[in-house]
Amino acid sequence: MQLGFVGLGRMGGNMVHRIHRDSDHQVVAFDPNAGAVSTAESHGATGAGSLEELVSKLDAPRMVWIMVPAGDPTEQTVQTLAGLLQSGDAIIDGGNSKWTDDARRAEELRAKGIDYVDVGVSGGVWGLEVGYCMMVGGPEEAVTRLTPILDVLAPPVNEESRATIGDRGWAHFGDSGAGHYVKMVHNGVEYTIMQGYAEGFNLLHESPFGIDNAKVAHLWEQGSVVRSWLNSLAARAFEQDGNDLDSLEAWVEDSGEGRWTLEDAIERRVPMPGLAAALFERFESRDRGDYAAKVNAALRNQFGGHAVKSRS
Protein backbone atom coordinates (compact mmCIF):
# COMPACT_ATOMS: atom_id res chain seq x y z
CA MET A 1 0.00 0.00 0.00
CA GLN A 2 1.13 3.54 -0.75
CA LEU A 3 0.65 6.47 1.64
CA GLY A 4 1.55 10.14 1.48
CA PHE A 5 2.73 11.56 4.81
CA VAL A 6 3.05 15.25 5.73
CA GLY A 7 4.80 16.24 8.96
CA LEU A 8 7.86 14.39 10.24
CA GLY A 9 8.24 15.72 13.78
CA ARG A 10 8.51 13.77 17.03
CA MET A 11 5.50 11.57 16.28
CA GLY A 12 5.21 11.78 12.51
CA GLY A 13 8.80 10.78 11.87
CA ASN A 14 8.47 7.79 14.18
CA MET A 15 5.23 6.72 12.53
CA VAL A 16 6.86 6.68 9.10
CA HIS A 17 9.77 4.74 10.59
CA ARG A 18 7.40 2.15 12.11
CA ILE A 19 5.48 1.72 8.85
CA HIS A 20 8.66 0.95 6.92
CA ARG A 21 10.26 -1.12 9.65
CA ASP A 22 7.24 -3.36 10.20
CA SER A 23 5.59 -3.64 6.78
CA ASP A 24 6.02 -3.52 3.02
CA HIS A 25 3.91 -0.36 2.66
CA GLN A 26 5.52 2.55 0.85
CA VAL A 27 5.46 6.11 2.23
CA VAL A 28 6.07 9.30 0.27
CA ALA A 29 7.09 11.83 2.92
CA PHE A 30 7.25 15.62 3.06
CA ASP A 31 8.26 18.11 5.74
CA PRO A 32 9.47 21.71 5.41
CA ASN A 33 12.59 20.55 7.28
CA ALA A 34 14.79 18.88 4.68
CA GLY A 35 16.70 17.07 7.43
CA ALA A 36 13.51 15.37 8.60
CA VAL A 37 12.83 14.22 5.03
CA SER A 38 16.35 12.81 4.79
CA THR A 39 15.82 10.89 8.03
CA ALA A 40 12.57 9.44 6.65
CA GLU A 41 14.40 8.42 3.48
CA SER A 42 17.01 6.63 5.58
CA HIS A 43 14.17 4.50 6.98
CA GLY A 44 12.93 3.60 3.50
CA ALA A 45 10.50 6.40 2.62
CA THR A 46 10.49 8.28 -0.69
CA GLY A 47 11.16 11.94 -0.03
CA ALA A 48 9.29 14.89 -1.54
CA GLY A 49 10.30 18.54 -1.60
CA SER A 50 6.77 19.96 -1.66
CA LEU A 51 3.14 18.98 -1.36
CA GLU A 52 2.87 19.16 -5.13
CA GLU A 53 5.74 16.69 -5.55
CA LEU A 54 4.29 14.43 -2.88
CA VAL A 55 0.93 14.20 -4.68
CA SER A 56 2.63 13.63 -8.03
CA LYS A 57 4.45 10.59 -6.64
CA LEU A 58 1.26 8.90 -5.41
CA ASP A 59 -0.90 6.60 -7.47
CA ALA A 60 -4.66 7.21 -7.52
CA PRO A 61 -6.69 6.80 -5.42
CA ARG A 62 -4.34 8.67 -3.11
CA MET A 63 -4.29 8.77 0.68
CA VAL A 64 -2.36 11.54 2.45
CA TRP A 65 -1.82 11.51 6.22
CA ILE A 66 -1.22 14.90 7.87
CA MET A 67 0.74 15.07 11.14
CA VAL A 68 1.27 18.78 11.72
CA PRO A 69 0.26 21.11 14.59
CA ALA A 70 -3.45 21.75 15.03
CA GLY A 71 -4.95 25.06 13.98
CA ASP A 72 -3.63 27.12 11.06
CA PRO A 73 -0.84 24.67 10.02
CA THR A 74 -3.36 21.84 9.62
CA GLU A 75 -5.96 24.08 8.00
CA GLN A 76 -3.50 25.41 5.44
CA THR A 77 -2.19 21.93 4.66
CA VAL A 78 -5.70 20.54 4.15
CA GLN A 79 -6.70 23.42 1.89
CA THR A 80 -3.54 23.11 -0.21
CA LEU A 81 -4.01 19.35 -0.60
CA ALA A 82 -7.67 19.87 -1.49
CA GLY A 83 -6.51 21.83 -4.52
CA LEU A 84 -4.08 19.09 -5.57
CA LEU A 85 -6.07 15.90 -4.95
CA GLN A 86 -8.92 14.47 -7.00
CA SER A 87 -12.25 12.80 -6.43
CA GLY A 88 -11.71 9.40 -4.80
CA ASP A 89 -8.65 10.53 -2.85
CA ALA A 90 -8.56 10.88 0.95
CA ILE A 91 -6.97 13.14 3.56
CA ILE A 92 -6.22 11.79 7.04
CA ASP A 93 -5.64 14.24 9.88
CA GLY A 94 -3.65 12.56 12.65
CA GLY A 95 -2.94 15.70 14.68
CA ASN A 96 -4.95 17.10 17.57
CA SER A 97 -7.54 19.06 15.62
CA LYS A 98 -10.77 20.17 17.26
CA TRP A 99 -13.55 17.81 16.20
CA THR A 100 -15.76 20.64 14.96
CA ASP A 101 -13.03 21.59 12.47
CA ASP A 102 -12.98 17.98 11.25
CA ALA A 103 -16.73 17.99 10.63
CA ARG A 104 -16.49 21.25 8.69
CA ARG A 105 -13.54 20.11 6.58
CA ALA A 106 -15.21 16.80 5.81
CA GLU A 107 -18.29 18.63 4.50
CA GLU A 108 -16.17 20.96 2.36
CA LEU A 109 -14.12 18.10 0.89
CA ARG A 110 -17.18 15.93 0.29
CA ALA A 111 -18.29 18.41 -2.38
CA LYS A 112 -15.04 17.64 -4.23
CA GLY A 113 -15.36 13.89 -3.79
CA ILE A 114 -12.44 13.76 -1.35
CA ASP A 115 -12.82 11.71 1.83
CA TYR A 116 -11.69 13.08 5.19
CA VAL A 117 -10.63 10.80 8.04
CA ASP A 118 -9.68 12.06 11.49
CA VAL A 119 -7.40 9.92 13.66
CA GLY A 120 -6.76 10.83 17.28
CA VAL A 121 -3.36 9.36 18.07
CA SER A 122 -2.08 8.52 21.55
CA GLY A 123 1.32 7.05 22.27
CA GLY A 124 3.69 9.99 22.17
CA VAL A 125 7.37 9.47 21.57
CA TRP A 126 7.07 5.84 22.71
CA GLY A 127 4.85 4.80 19.82
CA LEU A 128 7.70 3.71 17.57
CA GLU A 129 8.38 0.76 19.84
CA VAL A 130 5.05 0.02 21.54
CA GLY A 131 2.60 1.25 18.89
CA TYR A 132 -0.09 3.91 18.83
CA CYS A 133 -3.64 3.87 20.16
CA MET A 134 -5.80 5.38 17.41
CA MET A 135 -9.34 6.72 17.59
CA VAL A 136 -10.82 7.02 14.10
CA GLY A 137 -13.66 8.97 12.52
CA GLY A 138 -14.70 9.17 8.87
CA PRO A 139 -16.46 7.37 6.01
CA GLU A 140 -16.49 3.60 6.34
CA GLU A 141 -15.03 2.98 2.88
CA ALA A 142 -12.09 5.34 3.47
CA VAL A 143 -11.37 3.80 6.88
CA THR A 144 -11.41 0.35 5.30
CA ARG A 145 -8.83 1.49 2.76
CA LEU A 146 -6.68 2.87 5.58
CA THR A 147 -6.93 -0.29 7.71
CA PRO A 148 -3.57 -1.84 6.62
CA ILE A 149 -1.76 1.29 7.82
CA LEU A 150 -3.71 1.47 11.07
CA ASP A 151 -2.91 -2.18 11.76
CA VAL A 152 0.83 -1.55 11.40
CA LEU A 153 0.82 1.56 13.58
CA ALA A 154 -1.32 0.03 16.34
CA PRO A 155 0.11 -2.03 19.22
CA PRO A 156 0.05 -5.77 18.56
CA VAL A 157 -3.13 -7.40 19.85
CA ASN A 158 -3.37 -11.14 20.32
CA GLU A 159 -6.31 -13.01 18.84
CA GLU A 160 -7.89 -13.71 22.23
CA SER A 161 -7.91 -10.01 23.12
CA ARG A 162 -9.19 -9.11 19.67
CA ALA A 163 -12.20 -11.35 20.14
CA THR A 164 -12.94 -9.54 23.39
CA ILE A 165 -12.49 -5.90 22.41
CA GLY A 166 -13.48 -6.25 18.76
CA ASP A 167 -10.64 -4.22 17.27
CA ARG A 168 -6.92 -4.19 16.63
CA GLY A 169 -5.46 -1.48 18.81
CA TRP A 170 -7.56 1.10 16.96
CA ALA A 171 -11.30 1.66 16.61
CA HIS A 172 -13.67 3.45 14.23
CA PHE A 173 -16.24 5.53 16.13
CA GLY A 174 -18.38 7.15 13.44
CA ASP A 175 -18.46 10.08 11.04
CA SER A 176 -15.66 12.60 10.56
CA GLY A 177 -14.99 14.30 13.88
CA ALA A 178 -15.75 11.25 16.02
CA GLY A 179 -12.11 10.19 16.25
CA HIS A 180 -10.87 13.53 17.51
CA TYR A 181 -13.86 13.83 19.83
CA VAL A 182 -12.85 10.59 21.56
CA LYS A 183 -9.21 11.75 21.62
CA MET A 184 -10.29 15.09 23.12
CA VAL A 185 -12.03 13.33 25.99
CA HIS A 186 -9.03 10.98 26.32
CA ASN A 187 -6.80 13.99 26.90
CA GLY A 188 -9.25 15.45 29.40
CA VAL A 189 -9.08 12.20 31.36
CA GLU A 190 -5.30 12.33 31.05
CA TYR A 191 -5.22 15.81 32.63
CA THR A 192 -7.27 14.55 35.58
CA ILE A 193 -5.20 11.41 36.17
CA MET A 194 -1.94 13.35 35.97
CA GLN A 195 -3.21 15.86 38.53
CA GLY A 196 -4.07 13.03 40.91
CA TYR A 197 -0.56 11.62 40.69
CA ALA A 198 0.94 15.11 41.00
CA GLU A 199 -0.99 15.86 44.19
CA GLY A 200 -0.17 12.48 45.73
CA PHE A 201 3.55 12.74 45.04
CA ASN A 202 3.47 16.33 46.30
CA LEU A 203 2.11 15.19 49.67
CA LEU A 204 4.68 12.37 49.84
CA HIS A 205 7.41 14.89 49.07
CA GLU A 206 6.26 17.08 51.97
CA SER A 207 5.89 14.18 54.43
CA PRO A 208 8.08 14.00 57.56
CA PHE A 209 9.66 10.71 56.43
CA GLY A 210 12.00 11.75 53.60
CA ILE A 211 10.15 9.41 51.23
CA ASP A 212 11.77 8.52 47.89
CA ASN A 213 9.07 9.10 45.26
CA ALA A 214 10.85 6.98 42.67
CA LYS A 215 10.77 4.07 45.09
CA VAL A 216 7.05 4.67 45.73
CA ALA A 217 6.22 4.81 42.02
CA HIS A 218 8.12 1.59 41.33
CA LEU A 219 6.38 -0.12 44.25
CA TRP A 220 2.94 0.98 43.02
CA GLU A 221 3.63 -0.82 39.74
CA GLN A 222 3.77 -4.14 41.62
CA GLY A 223 0.09 -5.11 41.79
CA SER A 224 -1.26 -1.79 43.08
CA VAL A 225 -4.68 -0.61 41.90
CA VAL A 226 -3.07 2.70 40.82
CA ARG A 227 -0.41 1.08 38.64
CA SER A 228 -0.30 2.60 35.15
CA TRP A 229 2.00 3.72 32.36
CA LEU A 230 1.85 7.28 33.70
CA ASN A 231 2.97 6.05 37.09
CA SER A 232 5.86 4.18 35.43
CA LEU A 233 6.84 7.40 33.68
CA ALA A 234 6.70 9.23 37.01
CA ALA A 235 9.24 6.74 38.37
CA ARG A 236 11.40 7.35 35.32
CA ALA A 237 11.18 11.13 35.78
CA PHE A 238 12.18 10.93 39.47
CA GLU A 239 15.16 8.76 38.54
CA GLN A 240 16.26 11.13 35.77
CA ASP A 241 15.67 14.47 37.52
CA GLY A 242 15.98 13.50 41.17
CA ASN A 243 13.39 13.20 43.89
CA ASP A 244 13.13 17.00 44.25
CA LEU A 245 12.88 17.62 40.47
CA ASP A 246 15.18 20.58 41.09
CA SER A 247 16.10 21.04 37.44
CA LEU A 248 12.48 21.73 36.37
CA GLU A 249 10.45 24.89 36.56
CA ALA A 250 6.99 24.43 38.09
CA TRP A 251 5.25 25.44 34.85
CA VAL A 252 2.65 23.20 33.19
CA GLU A 253 1.52 23.98 29.65
CA ASP A 254 -1.74 22.85 28.08
CA SER A 255 -2.22 22.17 24.40
CA GLY A 256 -5.95 22.86 24.11
CA GLU A 257 -7.75 19.54 24.35
CA GLY A 258 -8.49 19.90 28.07
CA ARG A 259 -10.15 23.26 27.41
CA TRP A 260 -12.17 21.85 24.51
CA THR A 261 -13.33 18.92 26.63
CA LEU A 262 -14.48 21.22 29.41
CA GLU A 263 -16.21 23.58 26.97
CA ASP A 264 -18.12 20.69 25.45
CA ALA A 265 -19.02 19.37 28.90
CA ILE A 266 -20.46 22.78 29.79
CA GLU A 267 -22.42 22.86 26.53
CA ARG A 268 -23.89 19.41 27.26
CA ARG A 269 -24.31 20.06 31.00
CA VAL A 270 -22.05 17.14 31.91
CA PRO A 271 -20.28 17.69 35.26
CA MET A 272 -16.48 17.34 35.04
CA PRO A 273 -15.18 18.90 38.28
CA GLY A 274 -12.01 16.81 38.26
CA LEU A 275 -10.95 18.06 34.83
CA ALA A 276 -11.90 21.65 35.72
CA ALA A 277 -9.66 21.56 38.78
CA ALA A 278 -6.80 19.93 36.86
CA LEU A 279 -6.97 22.52 34.07
CA PHE A 280 -7.11 25.43 36.50
CA GLU A 281 -4.13 24.01 38.38
CA ARG A 282 -2.16 24.16 35.12
CA PHE A 283 -3.12 27.81 34.72
CA GLU A 284 -2.12 28.59 38.30
CA SER A 285 1.22 26.82 37.91
CA ARG A 286 2.35 29.68 35.67
CA ASP A 287 1.98 32.14 38.54
CA ARG A 288 2.46 29.94 41.60
CA GLY A 289 4.08 26.69 40.65
CA ASP A 290 4.70 24.05 43.31
CA TYR A 291 6.14 20.53 43.42
CA ALA A 292 2.90 19.08 42.02
CA ALA A 293 3.32 21.29 38.95
CA LYS A 294 6.85 19.95 38.52
CA VAL A 295 5.48 16.39 38.54
CA ASN A 296 2.91 17.33 35.88
CA ALA A 297 5.55 19.00 33.73
CA ALA A 298 7.84 15.98 34.08
CA LEU A 299 5.06 13.60 33.04
CA ARG A 300 4.23 15.63 29.92
CA ASN A 301 7.88 15.51 28.95
CA GLN A 302 8.12 11.77 29.57
CA PHE A 303 5.18 10.62 27.47
CA GLY A 304 5.07 13.24 24.75
CA GLY A 305 8.47 14.86 24.63
CA HIS A 306 6.75 18.16 25.47
CA ALA A 307 9.17 20.94 26.33
CA VAL A 308 9.80 21.76 29.98
CA LYS A 309 11.24 24.92 31.48
CA SER A 310 14.56 24.16 33.12
CA ARG A 311 15.92 26.12 36.01
CA SER A 312 19.13 27.93 35.20
Phi, then psi, of 90 in degrees rounded to 5: -145, 145
Burial status of residue 270 (CB atoms within 10 A of its CB: 0-12, 13-18, 19 or more): exposed
Distance CA 10, CA 8 (A): 7
DSSP bridge partners of 310? 248
Give the pairing type, strands 133-137 and 115-122. Answer: antiparallel
Q: Catalytic amino acids?
A: 183, 190
144 vs 151: CA distance, rounded Å: 11
Q: Angle at CA 306, nearest 5°, toward 220 and 297?
A: 50
Helix (H) / strand (E) element for 119: namely strand 115-122
Q: What is the DSSP letter of 299?
A: H
SS (H, E, C) 187-246: HHHHHHHHHHHHHHHHHHHCCCCCCCHHHHHHHHCCCCCCCCHHHHHHHHHHHHHCCCCC
User: Number of H helices and number of E strands within the chain?
Assistant: 14, 8
* DSSP-assigned states of every residue in 45-82: PEE-SSHHHHHHTSPSSPEEEE-S-TTHHHHHHHHHHH
Cα 29 to Cα 31: distance, rounded to the nearest angstrom? 7
133 Cβ partners below 8 Å, 6+ apart?
121, 122, 123, 154, 155, 169, 170
